[in-house]
Amino acid sequence: MSLALLQQVNCATPFLLLGWQPLEQGKATGLLLRVYLPHATAVTALSADGKKALGELTAVSGFDGVFELKLSKKRKVEAYILQVQAGNYQYQLFDPYQFKDEAYYAVHYVTSQPENLYRQLGAQLIELDIGTKKVPATRFAVYAPNASAVSVIGDMNSWDGRVHPMQRTECGHWVLVLPEVAQGVRYKYEIKDRHGHLLPHKADPMAFYAEQYPSHASLVFDHQHYQWQDSDWCNRKAINPLHSPISIYELQAGSWKRQNDNQPLSYRELAEQLIPYVLDMGYTHIELLPVMEHPFDGSWGYQPLGLFAPTSRFGNPDDFKYFVDKCHQAGIGVILDWVPAHFPEDGHGLARFDGSHLYEYEDPRRGWHPDWNSCIYDYGKGYVRQFLVASALFWLEHFHIDGLRVDAVASMLYWDYSRKEGEWIPNIDGGNHNYEAISFFRWFNTEVYSKYPKAMTIAEESTSFPMVSRPVDMGGLGFGFKWNMGWMNDSLRYISKDPAYRRYHHNDLTFSMVYAYNENFILPLSHDEVVHGKGSLLNKMPGDEWQQAANLRAYYAFMFAHPGKKLNFMGNEFAQGREWNHTQSLDWHLLGYDKHRGIQQLFRDLNQTYRRCAPLYELDYQHDGFSWLDHQDADNSTLSFLRRDSQGNTIYVVSNFTPVPRTDFLLGVEQPGDYEVILNTDSEYYWGSNYEVGSALHSIAMPYHGKAQHICLQLPPMATLYIRRKHQG
């Protein structure tokens, strides 16, 4: 093999040229030690302990930087150090090309188990046994089956692609061990395509840590260093989330609250400030917009390129672990938004990674997303599927994440998603379902729930695709939950109408119960509803200032009483008036005003009431947990229903979505006795009118709403009430 390939940076098999090589000397054989050091002027080989010289290497004529030492047949292969002279500088190094077996170790264990990808590939910190010494090192391994040459470049070699060419393996991985490369060293891969053309320097797809613009360099990181303190949380008894209260606070880490200079809080600062707030507000979970590394702030994390690295905008991976750890110690679950649907075209990323469409579909009718100007993963490729499932398992294993909310599921399920006729390719049966993505989801959910049974997977799926949250063995996709986008769209459309016209849109509030038990739904009022010109939730409400606030309060309480778990985006809880902007903090100064402080107090009380009243959550996904009392009072825009738990305890819910009080309003109840209002969104505590509901709500033995008893109350304007029988178990 020609030594010229080294100088051309086009050598795919450096182990056949460098390090110890057999040497034929006539009929006898000896050893040849060959090194390639482009900047060296002289090289001497020493024993691994540095105590004896093996010999001075001779420069090979015509091949600058190539040095050789010929040894007799009596000499044995042994570990060595190189003493290098480069101009006026002298230094020693362990030649990486003597560690062939250690380099190949990675690919011996990359099997069908997806977690082996992040345990073996990327930059793995290891120790080398060299003589009597243990030498720290980093093993690099990257998948680039269609490349003609790959070099690891970085701080360790002044970003010179000639210095450390990697060895190609039969399975398409490239490997190399670099001694004395430790945590914090920056690196990338220099890759040439199959035709020898140099590609933009690529970040490591398996990087655990990365720099921001402009370098986007990967960093070596040790995941074994952090000492977790959340054993009580991790060892807690498994609970069935379907029968548990789940109220999720969705937030973007960079804009929840900022410092005085408008810099975002770090992960550790978030832990100190966000967790007490979430505890005080009564949420059960935090859901973070994607923290996976991404190049563009304006994507909010939804265009990620580092599926194995928390963004370094807010700290290092251990800092993010600290945040999760503190959440768990406080009894708060952590859910991450995760994006296996698409990735951006940035040159340092996955697009045409080795010169081919390695990660993305080749045909743009399948591999290019017109909505987001991004590449779509090829779910038909085994490596891509393994890569994505490995990412999911990685966050569960290394960061103790409690759940993954999968973004843009609908875009993955349908070939014609957001495409016109002629812009997509049908499946083998002529339909629009992406069978490869469907198969991927089933494998993903099977892997997650089999290895992390306490975890949750949540689908953001906006269509009527069947059985999204049904088990795989029943023919479902296997998700634990699905966002109820239908409820969100219908209810927001209704509540945005002028009350005078709501009678004509009454079905928008009631239709959700027609399909409520088709899936395990989460009711989302997410970031998507307060961006891109949609305005804030408060500003969606009609009427004057009082009516807007009252509308919002009544709507929030209706949401908390409706079957399904709850999700609200940050700022909703105190009725932020402006649309969310990722470049600045929420408007916390609004809490100096009674209106916003009152709505925040309502949210606090809603969470606490929801969590302590089992009828509001225990039977979310069973017909026994809900019953209409009156869903046909369109003329008065009122709704009434009951929620029930497994013990028969009942909460009655009634909403008035007009500014007109309803006097002597009759509400059917099941049992005789005295009843009490446990939550009233019109209370003065919430900046309401404090309209008198009635102090004595004693049942009357006269049927109403199909119940044997009824109570009579004064129904406040623009309000939702929760009522229960006193002394109920």
Give catalytic residues, as residue numbers. 407, 460
Name the residue among 402, 385, 246, 409 with its Cα closest to residue 336.
402
DSSP string, 460-495: ---S--TTTTS-GGGTS---SEEE-HHHHHHHHHHH
CA distance 651 to 729: 12
SS3 state at 314: helix
User: Closest Cα partner for 634 from 463, 538, 728, 511?
Assistant: 511
Pairwise CA distance, residues 404 & 413, whole Å: 18
How far apart (Å, rounded) are the C-alpha atoms in residues 288 and 327? Answer: 12
CB 407 within 8 A of CB 302: yes
Q: Identify the burial level of 464 via C-beta atoms within 10 angstroms of its C-beta, where 0-12 means exposed, 13-18 middle and 19 or more buried.
A: exposed
Hey, what amino acid is at 56? E
d(CA 541, CA 535): 10
Within 10 A of 684 (CB to CB), how many other CB atoms are there?
Answer: 12
Q: Would you tell me how many other CB atoms lie within 10 Å of the CB of residue 537? A: 25
d(CA 515, CA 495): 20
Nearest to 441 by CA among 418, 416, 407: 407
3-state secondary structure 513-579: HHCCCCCCEEEEECHHHHCCCCCCHHHHCCCCHHHHHHHHHHHHHHHHHCCCEEEEECCHHHCCCCC
What number of CA atoms fall less than 13 Å from residue 209's CA on the CB side? 21
Sign of CA dihedral 665, 670, 676, 679: negative
- Which of helix, strand or coil describes residue 625? helix
Could you tell me if residue 21 is left (phi over 0), alpha (psi between -120 and 50 degrees) or otherwise beta? beta
